[in-house]
Amino acid sequence: MSTVGNSTNIFWQESPIGKLERQKLLNQKGCVVWITGLSGSGKSTLACSLSKELYTKGKLSYILDGDNLRHGLNKDLGFKAEDRTENIRRVGEVAHLFADAGLICIASLISPYRKDRDACRAMLPDSNFIEVYMNMPLALCEERDPKGLYKLARAGKIKGFTGIDDPYEPPLNCEIEINQKDGVCPIPSAMAGEVVTYLEDKGYLQD
């Protein structure tokens, strides 16, 4: 019996079918690919392309998209600092569950603060947290502005927008960094290819 957080009298229930058995069924290793970067840096594009590449290899992935989760699990949260932290904490916990289920969980969130991302990394033992930093210049992201949000932020209609009036803290030790090459952004399949190669090299695409 234990006391955890606000709960008491909570027991841990162990299942006879664990992560190893599920990984064997799927012939892959569960992990979290955490894509971080500015709005418009290409996080969702990479997530979709990666999920497609993995599917063609017969691998099961699932995308946790920050925006999509705000329609469901996190619909009670806004954008003030503590809500952003709680948003990322919950996505981290759910990503952890998906990795435990044996899936390659692709989390796609701005996740601007280093401490929030590191807290998610700490949830995953055995270095199954693969941080992918979309290192694209703010000017490029703002030029793309796929959702028209930079325009609103510059006009002062959105407050606390990452990159404009709220900081983005780049990772210090991420596993993968996606950059422009000679001022040109890699195409989606090339970005996905970088991640797939990493996963292959580290043995995630077999059990």
Which stretches of the chain bind a second copy, using CB under 8 A? 1, 4-7, 9-13, 15-17, 21-22, 25-26, 44, 47-48, 51-52, 55, 58, 60-65, 67-68, 70-79, 83, 86, 90, 93-94, 96-98, 100-103, 108, 123, 147-149, 152, 158
> Which residues are within 8 A (CB) of 144 and not within 5 positions of it... i.e. 6 or more apart?
40
Q: What are phi and psi of 179, to 5 degrees?
A: -120, 165
Q: 20-33 in b/e burial notation, b at 16+ Cβ within 10 A?
A: eebbeebebbbbbb
Catalytic, out of 2, 111, 127, 189? 111
Query: Of 70 and 144, which has the nearer Cβ to a second copy?
Result: 70
Asked about 39 being catalytic, the answer comes back as no
Tell me which H or E stretch contains 8.
strand 7-10
Spatial contact of 86 and 113, defined as CB atoms under 8 Å apart: no
CB of 183 to a second copy, least distance (A): 27
Query: Of 140 and 152, which has the nearer Cβ to a second copy?
Result: 152
Query: Of 13 and 173, which has the nearer Cβ to a second copy?
Result: 13
* Token duo for residue 34: 């955490």
CB of 12 to a second copy, least distance (A): 6
Query: Of 72 and 183, which has the nearer Cβ to a second copy?
Result: 72
Torsion, CA 158, CA 93, CA 128, CA 114, rounded to 10: 40
Active site residues: 111
